[in-house]
Structure 1
Amino acid sequence: MQAAIKVMVVDDSAVVRQVVAGMLSATPGIVVIAAVADPLLAMERMKQQWPDVIVLDVEMPRMDGITFLRKIMSERPTPVVICSTLTEKGAKTTLEAMAAGAVAIVTKPKLGLKQFLVEASNDLVSTVKAAARANVRRLSPRAEGAAPLTAPVKHTADVILAPASGSPRAMAQTTERVIAIGTSTGGTQALEEVLTMLPRVSPGILIVQHMPEKFTAAFAARLDSICQIQVKEAETNDRIVPGRALIAPGGKHVLMKRSGAQYMVEVVDGPLVNRHRPSVDVMFRSVAKAAGVNALGIIMTGMGDDGAAGLLEMRNAGARTVAQDEESCVVFGMPKEAIKRGGVERIVPLGGVAQEIMKQL
Structure 2
Amino acid sequence: MIKVLIIDDSAVVRKLLTEELNKQKDIEVVGTAIDPYIAREKIIQLKPDVLTLDLEMPRMDGLSFLGKLMKHFPMPVVVVSSLTPKNSANALNALRLGAVDVICKPGSAYSTQNISQDIVKAIRTASIARFDQHLEAVKSARTKQKATERVEFTGLRHTTNKLIAIGASTGGTRALEAVLTELPENMPGIVITQHMPPVFTKSFAERLNTICRLKVKEAEDGDLIKTGQALIAPGNFHMLVEKSGAKYYTRIKSGPPVHHQRPSVDVMFNSVAKSAGVNAMGVILTGMGADGAQGLLHMKEAGAHTIAQDEATSVVYGMPKEAAKLGAAEEILPLQVIPEAIIKQMARKMAEPVS
Provide the TM-score with structure 2 as the length reference: 0.87
Report what 1:244 is aligned to: 229
Determine helix, strand or coil for the equivalent of 1:314. Answer: helix
In the alignment, is residue 360 of structure 1 matched against residue 346 of structure 2? yes
Cα–Cα, structure 1 residues 196 and 111, in superposed 2: closer, same or farther, change >3 Å? closer
Runs of at least 4 residues off by over 6 Å: none
User: C-alpha deviations, 1:141-187, integer Å up to 9, x for none?
Assistant: 98xxxxxxxxxxxxxxxxxxxxxxxxxxxxxxx98321000000000
Q: Equivalences for 1:267-282 in 2 at 5 Å?
A: 267-282=252-267
Conserved 8 A contact 1:203-1:357: no
**Which amino acid in 1 is paired with 2:304?**
A
Q: 2:23 aligns with which of 6, 26, 31?
A: 26
Q: 1:129 aligns with which of 109, 124, 128?
A: 124
Alpha-carbon distance in structure 2 between the residues aligned to 1:290 and 1:347: 25
Conserved 8 A contact 2:103-2:115: no
Alpha-carbon distance in structure 2 between the residues aligned to 1:186 and 1:34: 26
Conserved 8 A contact 2:160-2:189: no
Cα–Cα, structure 1 residues 112 and 213, in superposed 2: closer, same or farther, change >3 Å? closer
User: C-alpha deviations, 1:90-142, integer Å up to 9, x for none?
Assistant: 111211222211010111254477xx334443332221011011112245498
Consecutive unaligned residues of structure 2, counting only runs of 5 or more, are: 139-158, 348-355
Q: 1:62 aligns with which of 59, 62, 65?
A: 59
Cα–Cα, structure 1 residues 85 and 139, in superposed 2: closer, same or farther, change >3 Å? farther
**Which amino acid in 1 is paired with 2:19?**
G
Q: 1:71 aligns with which of 68, 71, 74?
A: 68
User: C-alpha deviations, 1:28-77, integer Å up to 9, x for none?
Assistant: 23221211221122112223122211001111112111011111101110
Conserved 8 A contact 1:234-1:265: yes
Report what 1:315 is aligned to: 300
- Count how many residue pairs are aligned between Structure 1 and Structure 2: 326
Conserved 8 A contact 2:31-2:46: no
**Which amino acid in 2 is paired with 1:65?**
G
Report what 1:100 is aligned to: 97
Consecutive unaligned residues of structure 1, counting only runs of 5 or more, are: 143-173
Determine helix, strand or coil for the equivalent of 2:43. Answer: helix
Conserved 8 A contact 2:160-2:227: no
Provide the aligned C-alpha RMSD in A.
1.9
Alpha-carbon distance in structure 2 between the residues aligned to 1:347 and 1:138: 16
Alpha-carbon distance in structure 1 between the residues aligned to 2:231 and 2:283: 15
Using the TM superposition, name which of 14-23 and 86-95 deviates more. Answer: 14-23
Determine helix, strand or coil for the equivalent of 2:165. Answer: strand
Q: 1:351 aligns with which of 320, 333, 336?
A: 336
Cα–Cα, structure 1 residues 117 and 180, in superposed 2: closer, same or farther, change >3 Å? same
Using the TM superposition, name which of 71-80 and 309-318 deviates more. Answer: 309-318
Conserved 8 A contact 1:139-1:189: no
Report what 2:318 is aligned to: 333
Alpha-carbon distance in structure 2 between the residues aligned to 1:267 and 1:343: 25
Determine helix, strand or coil for the equivalent of 2:226. Answer: coil
Determine helix, strand or coil for the equivalent of 1:322. Answer: strand
Determine helix, strand or coil for the equivalent of 1:190. Answer: helix
**Identity of counterpart residues, as a percentage?**
51
Q: Equivalences for 1:286-297 in 2 at 5 Å?
A: 286-297=271-282
User: C-alpha deviations, 1:275-326, integer Å up to 9, x for none?
Assistant: 1111001000110111001011111100011111111111111111110011
Report what 2:173 is aligned to: 188
Conserved 8 A contact 2:160-2:248: no
Cα–Cα, structure 1 residues 217 and 245, in superposed 2: closer, same or farther, change >3 Å? same
Alpha-carbon distance in structure 2 between the residues aligned to 1:197 and 1:112: 38
Task: Give the deviation of 1:268 after TM superposition.
Answer: 1.1
**Which amino acid in 1 is paired with 2:77?**
V
Task: Give the deviation of 1:200 after TM superposition.
Answer: 1.4
